[in-house]
Amino acid sequence: MVSNPHTGRRAGQSGTREAIATAARQQFAARGYDRTSVRSIAQEAGVDPALVSHFHGSKVDLFLAVTELPFEPAEVLPRILAGDPDEIGTRLAEFIVEALEAPEGRGRILALVRAATSEPEAARAIRELLTAKVLQPLAEAIGAGDAQYRAGLVMSQVVGLTMARYVVGIEPLASRDPHSVVRSVAPTLQRYLAGPL
Amino acid sequence: MVSNPHTGRRAGQSGTREAIATAARQQFAARGYDRTSVRSIAQEAGVDPALVSHFHGSKVDLFLAVTELPFEPAEVLPRILAGDPDEIGTRLAEFIVEALEAPEGRGRILALVRAATSEPEAARAIRELLTAKVLQPLAEAIGAGDAQYRAGLVMSQVVGLTMARYVVGIEPLASRDPHSVVRSVAPTLQRYLAGPL
DNA sequence: TGATGAATTCTGCACCCGTTGAATAACAAA
DNA sequence: TTTGTTATTCAACGGGTGCAGAATTCATCA
């Protein structure tokens, strides 16, 4: 005799853990940390809210587990840094804008930006992630004494572009074709990386 | 006979309305829109939460009423635009960095940035405020055909600097002296305003 | 003086939040 | 087969949220 047909473990593999992570990524990116609730993540994953805690611990834990850069710096950076040194800014700008145009990349970046402005612990985690995986290697590649400072300036323009074009949606910057945005921003990055300050 | 000594109107002028507005500005800037509660605003103003609705309507209404630019564009822009055209970038950078270094200006700007990333209605309001009061005049002063686009690029670097230096706190950008930050950023603004794109 | 309106507090409603604990069912290992 | 581990649901707790309504007191003006 089955007393309750709803509770209890399902047969077979369910992939619930990943479903929760995917829904979490989606919602953190779309709404930001505060406006994403554990309950709504569970709903999108088609799952009971208690499973979120069960698999991923607290909400902050889940966020940190799910927060990743939209690319693998160790793969990408060498490709950008190699080749004509005068074109590094262009290659960097191209890569960034491409990443922002692809829905998945944009989502991840927006999640980072949104979280950094609301949840202090997230801001700390993001700062450390960026410093270790992007700014530090970038600075080493530049080699100059003030390389870390330069890397920070680069980051400031990248973040600002993200905000202005994709979050606030300032026109006509928001609807300009990607290529002309690259051309506009590339010299800035080039100067921050290798030009006079 | 007084039945309840706490309720009822106080004698004299209380300045409650302004106290609420001030506390709201403070908290929206420090914690962002979502993490600021009507109740905490009331507490900081030393006042009952119901007075917030009473004077300023809903929470969004209050935010919009309290949200202002940290300067008067009509006053400031002419001062920046006048003089040597090759130094506009420097004057603009100086003004921005100065505004960000002063606690009150920084607070207001942070409030704008934080709200823009969390509350969509605020993002819309901010976009319109910026467009009407800053970007439009700036574009007219530039005069070129793509002036609005140029103004957007300027805004992107300004916002990015705010995020990187004051919100996320990327080092050593965050602790560099204001003057050297001005020197680093000025050429970027200058090119966005008047240089080749 | 009397009447109207504004300022103030209290109470409470309806809802959402993150998290926990117990109960149940399937799987894995013995 | 028994035993323990894991996946799952349900129910609930304690707390926070924005906001509306009633009651009370002061101010203002006829």
Element (H, E) at B107: helix B103-118
**pLDDT: is A24 or B125 the higher one?**
A24
DSSP state of B9: P
pLDDT tens readout for residues A50-70:
999 999 999 999 999 998 888
pLDDT tens readout for residues A69-83:
888 888 999 999 888
**pLDDT: is A3 or B111 the higher one?**
B111
pLDDT of residue A4: 53
Please count the other Cβ atoms lying within 10 Å of the Cβ belonging to residue A1: 2
Q: What is the mean pLDDT of residues B156-171?
A: 91
Q: Name the residue among A123, A168, A172 with its Cα closest to residue B122.
A: A168
pLDDT of residue B12: 80
Provide the shortest C-alpha distance from residue A13 to chain B (in Å): 37
Asked if A127's CB is within 8 angstroms of B170's CB, the reply is yes
Among the residue ranges A3-17, A87-101, B14-28, the one predicted with the least confidence is: A3-17
Residue B14 pLDDT exceeds 90: no
CA of A17 to C1' of D2 (A): 29
The DSSP code sequence of B121-176 is HHHHHHHHHHIIIIIHHHHHHH-STTHHHHHHHHHHHHHHHHIIIIII--TTGGGS
pLDDT of residue A2: 44
Tokens representing A197? 């300050």
Of B34, B126, B156, the CB nearest to A34: B34
CA of B12 to C1' of D29 (A): 17
Asked if B118's CB is within 8 angstroms of A168's CB, the reply is no
| pTM score of the predicted model | 0.85
Judged by DSSP in three states, A8 sits in: coil
Residue A131 pLDDT exceeds 60: yes
Cβ-based contacts of B187 with chain A (< 8 Å): 191
pLDDT of residue B9: 81
CA of B3 to C1' of D24 (A): 8
Asked if B157's CB is within 8 angstroms of A156's CB, the reply is yes
Task: Kindly provide the residue ranges of all beta strands, DSSP E only, lying in chain B, ordered along the sequence.
Answer: none
* pLDDT-based confidence at residue A44 (cuts at 50, 70, 90): very high
Burial of B131 (0-12, 13-18, 19+ CB in 10 A): middle
Residue B2 pLDDT exceeds 60: no
Provide the shortest C-alpha distance from residue B74 to chain A (in Å): 20
Mutation to test the A interface, candidates B117, B149, B156, B175, most A Cβ within 10 Å = B156
Cβ-based contacts of A172 with chain B (< 8 Å): 148-149, 152
Asked if B157's CB is within 8 angstroms of A188's CB, the reply is yes
Shortest CA–C1' contact from B53: which nucleotide?
D19
Asked if B158's CB is within 8 angstroms of A160's CB, the reply is yes
Q: Residue B1: CB partners within 8 Å, gap ≥ 6?
A: none
Q: What is the mean pLDDT of residues A28-33?
A: 90
CA of A46 to C1' of D5 (A): 24
Mean pLDDT of chain B: 90
Please count the other Cβ atoms lying within 10 Å of the Cβ belonging to residue B71: 18
Cite residues whose beta carbon is less than 7 Å from strand C: A 2-5, 7-12, 36-40, 49-50, 52-53, 58-60; B 6-10, 14, 16-17, 47-51, 54-55
Of A148, A160, A191, the CB nearest to B163: A160
Mean pLDDT of chain A: 90
Q: What is the mean pLDDT of residues B149-177?
A: 92
* pLDDT-based confidence at residue B119 (cuts at 50, 70, 90): confident
Which bases of strand D have any atom within 7 Å of the beta carbon of a protein residue? Answer: 6-12, 16-27
Tokens representing A114? 């949104």
Burial of A46 (0-12, 13-18, 19+ CB in 10 A): exposed
Residue A104 pLDDT exceeds 90: no
Q: Are A23 and A46 in contact (CB under 8 A)?
A: no
Q: Residue B75: CB partners within 8 Å, gap ≥ 6?
A: none
Of B159, B164, B187, the CB nearest to A155: B164
* pLDDT-based confidence at residue A1 (cuts at 50, 70, 90): very low
> How far is Cα A127 from Cα B89, in angstroms, rounded to an integer?
29
Residue B3 pLDDT exceeds 60: no
Q: Name the residue among B89, B96, B87, B91 with its Cα closest to residue B165.
A: B96
pLDDT tens readout for residues B33-76:
999 999 999 999 999 999 999 999 999 999 999 988 888 888 99
Q: What is the mean pLDDT of residues B129-135?
A: 87
Residue A5 pLDDT exceeds 70: no
> How far is Cα A161 from Cα B70, in angstroms, rounded to an integer?
22
pLDDT tens readout for residues A136-164:
888 888 877 788 899 999 999 999 999 99
Tokens representing B148? 């609005």
Q: What is the mean pLDDT of residues A19-41?
A: 95
Q: What is the mean pLDDT of residues B164-176?
A: 91
pLDDT of residue A3: 46
Asked if B183's CB is within 8 angstroms of A153's CB, the reply is no
Provide the shortest C-alpha distance from residue A152 to chain B (in Å): 6
Asked if B32's CB is within 8 angstroms of A117's CB, the reply is yes
